[in-house]
């Protein structure tokens, strides 16, 4: 498998646009466009901070349970990729399966090879980020360390880390 971005049947849409534009688009669909109705509990608003550069892809996995967390895309509720953008990136993930508890993992796949590249000690060469910003100096964080209770209107902020 070359990409972490699996097209999960639970993923409806991922759009990269300012949140104000999203609200306006939801109220006024363009001609010939079908408006997708989702409840607020199905939307995960993400803000990614500290993206080092615009090379490659930002790969996001959303987990609703500990099984497979943080790096088994087949066990994630959703997975998706977007083009990297240096600095800050705002995303809105719409889920088909509503959940209040969620753990998110993000990879800045700078060389676009679909995996986290590490050095000979296992230290990541590419950017990583997790919901709730857990300590990752001694290894992968646990699902419990990353779980956020998602409520309508909440914004989940993830700080990218580069070593």
CATH classification of the domain holding 15: 2.60.40
Q: How far apart are CA 41 and CA 24, in angstroms?
A: 19
Q: 40-93 pLDDT, tens per residue?
A: 447 889 999 999 999 999 999 999 999 999 999 999 988 989 999 999 999 998
Structure tokens at 110: 């700078």
**Percentage of the chain surpassing pLDDT 90?**
59
- The answer as to whether 68 is a domain residue is yes
**Backbone dihedral region of 68: left (phi > 0), alpha (psi from -120 to 50 degrees) or beta?**
left
How would residue 96 be classed by pLDDT, with cut points 50, 70 and 90?
low
Contact residues for 55 (Cβ-Cβ < 8 A; gap 6+): 84, 110, 111, 112
- The answer as to whether 88 is a domain residue is yes
Total domain count, the chain: 1
- The answer as to whether 111 is a domain residue is yes
**Percentage of the chain surpassing pLDDT 70?**
74
Residue span of the structural domain in which 84 resides: 11-26+39-159
pTM of the model: 0.74
- The answer as to whether 33 is a domain residue is no
Q: 130-139 pLDDT, tens per residue?
A: 999 999 988 9
Structure tokens at 13: 């849409």
């Amino acid at each position: 498998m070359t990409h972490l971005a699996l097209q999960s049947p639970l993923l409806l849409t991922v759009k990269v646009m300012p949140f104000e534009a999203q609200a306006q688009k939801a109220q006024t669909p363009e001609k010939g466009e079908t408006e997708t109705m989702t409840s607020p509990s199905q939307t995960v608003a993400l803000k990614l901070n500290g993206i080092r550069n615009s090379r490659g892809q930002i790969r996001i996995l959303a987990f609703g349970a500990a099984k497979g967390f943080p790096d088994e895309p087949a066990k994630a509720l959703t997975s998706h990729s977007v083009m990297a953008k240096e600095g800050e990136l705002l995303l809105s993930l719409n889920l088909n399966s509503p959940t209040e508890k969620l753990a998110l993992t993000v990879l800045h796949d700078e060389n676009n090879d679909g995996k986290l590249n590490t050095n000979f000690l296992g230290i990541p060469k590419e950017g990583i980020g997790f919901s709730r910003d857990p300590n990752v100096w001694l290894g992968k964080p646990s699902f419990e360390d990353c779980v956020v209770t998602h409520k309508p209107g909440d914004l989940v902020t993830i700080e990218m880390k580069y070593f």
